[in-house]
């Protein structure tokens, strides 16, 4: 009797780019982020060389694991970084959000592999749309460009694990990836600060808005007004920002704050204009009774003016052919709505 022994091998191939596998393999498994309890084990193994955490580090460990958001590589790096350090070092690292150069360098490798249009979409999501939980179709409308496909770009970012797209088709990004993206965006303008395209830092936004330093380079501005010093703006504040596509001045705070006077932002002489290139306009507690008459809004896709003082959006309603979302929640001074026939593609209204 002859016995044949068959040796079977399983080869596992991993990559940061899903398309590399899709071209060669029929079945591709997307590794999901670990749940919180599952994340504790790899972190503990690297931080304490054991499966269970030390009691005195319990709360600190939970904060670090929460920051890692279930990414095994990040859990391993942070565990190694904090191993053998005393509690004071842990606390100081947490205050600095546990920045780790290796993590950011790995993400930058994926970023460098992108085409220029994909980089543009990636930075727009990280520097403006982060946290908005927008669906793919709305991001497609907001970022639409004749030269490239936004949907294809989003798929590419998803394949490289730089963004996530949920079953509901909502786009999101991991906190750590967003941090890296914002570092990249900031480095774009190191040599010439006037060339910064995406403004999100409170000090930078304050400098541009209060001293009328806006220019055509600026593509987006987003800021939580509760993090700002008082802003006294001139009517011409947005005049030079002709290519501003995205503006979001919001207040993330308590309901009592939202119901009070316009928080820290004043337009004593009104507002002369807004850029006609605007596609997304968000302004919590908008302090005026209407939008500027010189604002054509022909490119506007989403308009968010919750808790505003608006009585009538426009004195004469422009053609709003691209408008899809209108939010006027808690704008209790409204006396007249716009002519909805001027917005034939409107899908969402929140009054």
Q: What are 290-312's pLDDT values in tens digits? A: 999 889 999 999 999 999 999 99
pLDDT, average across residues 110-130: 93
pLDDT in tens, 191-203: 555 678 999 988 8
Spell out the SS3 assignment of 12-77. Answer: CCCCCCHHHHHCCCCCCCCCCCCCHHHHHHHHHHHHCCCCCCCHHHHHHHHHHHHHHCCCHHHHHH
pLDDT in tens, 155-175: 999 888 788 898 899 999 888
Please tell me the number of Cα atoms within 13 Å of 3 on its side-chain side.
2
pLDDT in tens, 312-347: 999 888 899 999 999 999 999 999 988 889 999 999
pLDDT in tens, 185-238: 988 766 555 678 999 988 888 889 988 888 999 999 999 888 887 888 999 999
If pLDDT is split at 50, 70 and 90, which confidence band does 52 have? Answer: low
pLDDT score recorded for residue 38? 84
If pLDDT is split at 50, 70 and 90, which confidence band does 151 have? Answer: very high
Q: Is the pLDDT of residue 68 over 70?
A: yes
Q: Is the pLDDT of residue 256 over 50?
A: no
Which residues on neighbouring strands pair with residue 349, listed in sequence order?
Answer: 326
pTM above 0.85, yes or no: no
Which residues on neighbouring strands pair with residue 348, listed in sequence order?
Answer: 325
Q: What is the DSSP string of 98-148?
A: T--HHHHHHHHHHHHTS-HHHHHHHHHIIIIITTS--BHHHHHHHH-BTTB
Instruction: Give the closest residue to 277 by CA, choosing from 317, 217, 327, 222.
Output: 217
What are the φ/ψ torsions at residue 199 (nearest 5 degrees)? -100, 125
Spatial separation of the C-alpha atoms in residues 131 and 150, rounded to whole Å:
19
pLDDT score recorded for residue 101? 65
Q: Is the pLDDT of residue 255 over 50?
A: no
pLDDT score recorded for residue 53? 60
Which residues on neighbouring strands pair with residue 234, listed in sequence order?
Answer: none
Spatial separation of the C-alpha atoms in residues 263 and 307, rounded to whole Å:
11
Q: Is the pLDDT of residue 265 over 60?
A: yes
pLDDT more than 90, % of the chain: 40
Identify the residue with better confidence: 84 or 349.
Answer: 349
pLDDT more than 70, % of the chain: 84
Most trustworthy range by pLDDT among 28-32, 80-84, 341-345: 341-345
Q: Is the pLDDT of residue 258 over 60?
A: no
């Amino acid at each position: 009797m002859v016995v044949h022994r068959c040796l079977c091998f399983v080869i596992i191939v991993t990559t940061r780019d899903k398309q590399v596998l899709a071209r060669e393999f029929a079945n591709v498994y997307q590794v999901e982020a670990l749940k919180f309890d599952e994340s504790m084990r790899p972190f503990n193994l690297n931080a304490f060389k054991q499966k269970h955490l030390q009691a005195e580090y319990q709360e600190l460990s939970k904060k670090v694991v929460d920051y890692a958001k279930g990414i095994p590589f990040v859990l391993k790096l942070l565990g190694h970084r904090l191993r053998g350090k005393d509690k004071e070092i842990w606390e100081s690292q947490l205050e600095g959000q546990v920045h780790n150069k290796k993590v950011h360098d790995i993400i930058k490798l994926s970023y460098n592999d992108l085409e220029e249009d994909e980089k543009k979409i990636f930075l727009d999501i990280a520097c403006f749309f982060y946290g908005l939980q927008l669906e793919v179709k709305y991001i497609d409308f907001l970022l639409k460009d004749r030269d490239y496909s936004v949907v294809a770009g989003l798929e590419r970012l998803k394949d490289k694990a730089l963004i996530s797209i949920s079953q509901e088709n909502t786009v999101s990004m991991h906190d750590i990836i967003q941090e890296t993206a914002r570092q990249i965006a900031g480095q774009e303008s190191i040599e010439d600060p006037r060339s910064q395209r995406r403004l999100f830092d409170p000090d930078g936004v304050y400098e541009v808005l209060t001293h009328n330093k806006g220019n055509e380079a600026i593509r987006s501005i987003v800021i939580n007004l509760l993090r700002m010093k008082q802003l006294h703006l001139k009517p011409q504040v947005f005049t030079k920002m002709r290519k501003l596509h995205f503006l979001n001045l919001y207040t993330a705070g308590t309901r009592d704050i939202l119901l009070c006077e316009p928080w820290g932002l004043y337009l004593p002489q009104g507002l002369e204009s807004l850029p006609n290139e605007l596609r997304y306009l968000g302004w919590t507690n908008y302090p005026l009774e209407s939008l500027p008459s010189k604002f054509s809004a022909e490119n506007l896709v989403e308009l968010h003016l919750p808790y505003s003082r608006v009585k009538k959006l426009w004195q004469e309603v422009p053609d709003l052919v691209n408008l899809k979302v209108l939010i006027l929640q808690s704008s209790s001074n409204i006396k007249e709505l716009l002519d909805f026939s001027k917005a034939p593609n409107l899908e969402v209204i929140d009054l």
